[in-house]
Structure formats: structure tokens, C-alpha cells
């Protein structure tokens, strides 16, 4: 999987829309802020100008980052995902063997990860620990609080 970003069609569309917004709205806003700050006189002691230039640098960095992701993207058809074992784009329900708590996650690429939506990266410690496991298997995952064991109780799309 090295070198490519694996995305769902939804993830691809979201990143593409964000990139277009940054180019069409973000750049003009930053340019306006720089122009306004420039009108205020001496640039050597103009904090607003420095802030606007920093914002411009950060914006261009973000645009560059998103262009790289889209330039190396492979869109995955979710209907072709093998759910006989935990893999990219699977929804997996795990049970904490210590306290019996169950939680479900969707394993996604780094660029689609969003813990609020319970989408975790396959490169995260939990994601790595779950990859390749089958229903009923135990995954031992290293956490800051030590090793934790989880049983795979469901794998779905």
C-alpha cells in the first residue's frame, strides 16, 4: 500500500471539494488580507502583514498536501471488500475482554480517519492490531496503558 492513498469515492469527493474551496475562496481571502495589511504602512513592523503572509504559507502547504493525496489516490470499490477478515473499509465490532465493552470502527486510510465518525486509520495502533484478524480472533493492541485484548465480534461493510 506504500505510495498510494486508498480512498472511498466519498473520501475522494470530500478532499477534492476541500481543495477547490481552498483554491477558489482561500487564496483570494489571503490575498485580500495581505493587501489590507500592506496598505497600513511599514512592513518591517507590521504584525498583520506577517500574520497574513504566514496564513498564505499555511494555505499553500495545505493545497500542496491535498494535491499530493489526490495525485496518488486509488479509489476502492467497497463492494469488492473481503469481509472474511478485517481489512481496509471494513466495519469491525470489537469487544474489550477486560470490561466487556463493545465498540465499532470503520478502518480507513490515513486521510479519511475521523475518530468522531468512528473511522480509524489502518496505520493507527488499533487499526494495525485489527488488520487481518478473523471473526472470533483476539487482537492484542499496545496502548499507552499497556497491552489490551479485543475479540473480533463482527466484520461487515
User: Domains in the chain, start-ordered, CATH in brackets?
Assistant: 5-75 (1.10.287.180), 78-156 (3.10.50.30)
- The predicted pLDDT at position 40 comes to 79
Secondary element (H or E) of residue 151: strand 146-156
**pTM of structure:** 0.65
C-alpha grid cell for residue 45? Answer: 513592523
**Predicted local confidence at residue 157, as pLDDT:** 84
What's the distance, CA 94 to chain centroid?
21
Q: Are 78 and 114 in contact (CB under 8 A)?
A: no
Residues in the chain, pLDDT under 50: 1-2
- H helices within the chain, ranges in order? 9-21, 27-38, 47-71, 125-130
pLDDT for residue 1: 40
Amino acid at each position: 500500500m506504500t505510495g498510494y492513498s486508498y480512498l472511498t469515492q466519498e473520501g475522494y469527493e470530500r478532499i477534492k471539494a476541500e481543495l477547490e474551496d481552498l483554491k477558489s475562496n482561500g487564496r483570494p481571502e489571503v490575498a485580500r488580507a495581505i493587501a489590507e495589511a500592506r496598505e497600513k504602512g511599514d512592513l518591517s513592523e507590521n504584525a498583520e502583514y506577517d500574520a497574513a503572509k504566514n496564513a498564505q504559507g499555511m494555505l499553500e502547504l495545505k493545497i500542496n498536501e491535498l494535491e499530493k493525496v489526490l495525485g496518488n489516490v486509488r479509489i476502492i470499490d467497497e463492494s469488492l471488500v473481503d469481509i472474511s477478515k478485517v481489512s481496509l473499509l471494513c466495519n469491525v465490532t470489537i469487544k474489550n475482554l477486560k470490561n466487556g465493552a463493545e465498540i465499532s470502527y470503520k478502518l480507513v486510510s490515513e486521510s479519511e480517519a475521523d475518530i468522531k465518525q468512528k473511522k480509524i486509520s489502518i496505520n493507527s495502533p488499533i487499526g494495525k492490531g485489527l488488520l487481518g484478524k478473523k471473526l472470533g480472533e483476539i487482537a492484542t493492541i499496545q496502548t499507552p496503558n499497556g497491552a489490551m485484548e479485543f475479540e473480533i465480534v463482527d466484520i461487515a461493510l
